Amino acid sequence: MSLVHYLKIWLASVRYSIVRTMMFRMDFIMWSLVELFWMGVNILLINVIYAHTDSIAGWSKYEMLLLVGTAMILQRLMMGFFWSNLFELGRNIRTGQFDFFLAQPGNPLFMLSTRKIDLDSIMNCVVALSVVVFAVTKLGLHPSLADIGFYVLLLGCALLIHYAAVLLIVSLTFWLIGSQGIEGSYFTLFEFARIPRQAFVGAREVIFVWILPAVISSNVPASALIHGFQPISVLWLGATAAVWLAIAMLVFRAGLRRYASASS
């Protein structure tokens, strides 16, 4: 299938998601408010902490706010476009409903990853973006269009890391009986995305900065917006995204070969 056909399939999924959301408006409003409350708690926590200190690991209050805003953008994008789809993978494998995706005229991974979107998370991306814009203003930064485009590109690479991590986690369902607990490990891992890289030293730096990808997924885009273009950091983020995506797809394909459908 061509890219045009995949685009048409995705647009059809978007239309379906919008119609479905409008059928349950109160559910949409309530989940939007819950996510907004969670984001507000994170911002309030920064204000409380910086009421007692001027710097954390060399990051000022508004630099930290920019970092947290970046982490929130990434998580809202992940939740909006991919989380629900990948989260249901485990249940579909256990019930045999995964056959539905294998029977679709397209790549199974694309079909299961893009079936629906969560508008409440996507809407709250605007709030997270406003936090970043506010922090940039307070820091007195004046990013050019090139800087903004570069920041968006880095966010794209970081989003691939988030996607790869969740795909890798849920793909373990091909071998496990239950996966209710392992999906939550995504949130545990990416809680570290809100912490400056400089706060990790020794063994913690090796584990949470060099081995696991959560910290750099938010730190590299935020640092690029604050300090400008850093080639080594960009290559680091891009290579990490490529490696993690390759590993996740390798595990997923191995699981596909092992999968026994409901009809077998």
- As a whole number, mean pLDDT of residues 105-117 equals 84
Burial of 184: CB neighbours in 10 Å, binned 0-12, 13-18, 19+: exposed
- For residue 20, what pLDDT is reported? 77
Contact indicator for 190, 75 with CB cutoff of 8 Å: yes
Partners of 111 in beta bridges:
none
Dihedral-angle region of residue 59 (phi above 0 means left; psi in -120 to 50 means alpha; beta otherwise): beta
- pLDDT score recorded for residue 178: 58
Q: What does the block give as tokens for 170?
A: 């849920």
pLDDT tens-digit series, residues 204-242: 888 888 888 889 999 999 999 998 888 888 899 999 999
pLDDT of residue 69: 93
Give the separation between CA 32 and CA 201, rounded to whole angstroms. Answer: 37
Three-state secondary structure along the chain? CCHHHHHHHHHHHHHHHHHHHHHCHHHHHHHHHHHHHHHHHHHHHHHHHCCCCCCECCECHHHHHHHHHHHHHHHHHHHHHHHHHHHHHHHHHHHCCCHHHHCCCCCHHHHHHCCCCCHHHHHHHHHHHHHHHHHHHHCCCCCCHHHHHHHHHHHHHHHHHHHHHHHHHHHHHHCCCCCCCHHHHHHHHHHHHHCCHHHCCCHHHHHHHHHCCHHHHHHHHHHHHHHCCCHHHHHHHHHHHHHHHHHHHHHHHHHHHHCCCCCC
Q: Which residue from 208, 91, 83, 218 is spatially nearest to 157, judged by alpha carbons?
A: 218
| Residues 68 and 194 sit within 8 Å (Cβ to Cβ) | yes
* 59 beta partners: 56
pLDDT in tens, 142-155: 998 989 999 999 99
Average pLDDT of the chain is 85
Token couple for 32: 């939007």
pTM: 0.88
Question: Whole-angstrom Cα distance, residue 62 to residue 94?
Answer: 46
Would you state the pLDDT for residue 179?
57
C-alpha–C-alpha distance, residues 231 and 252, integer Å:
31
**pLDDT computed for residue 1 by the predictor:** 65
| Residue, of 135 and 28, whose pLDDT is higher | 135
The residue to which tokens 């070969």 are assigned:
257
Q: Where are the domains of the chain?
A: 3-258
- Find the mean pLDDT for residues 169-179: 78
* pLDDT above 60 for 85: yes
pLDDT of the residue at 177? 64
**pLDDT reported for residue 181:** 63
Residue 263 has pLDDT above 60, yes or no: no
Residue 261, pLDDT > 70, answer: no
Longest dimension (CA), the chain: 63
Q: What percentage of the chain reaches a pLDDT higher than 90?
A: 33
Answer whether 62's CB lies under 8 Å from 138's CB: yes
Q: What is residue 16's predicted lDDT score, i.e. its pLDDT?
A: 80
**Among residues 200, 199, 202, 170, which one has the least CA distance to residue 186?**
170
Q: Each residue of 9-60: pLDDT tens digit?
A: 888 888 888 887 777 777 767 767 777 787 788 888 888 889 888 888 889 9
Kindly state the tokens that stand for 238: 């891009």
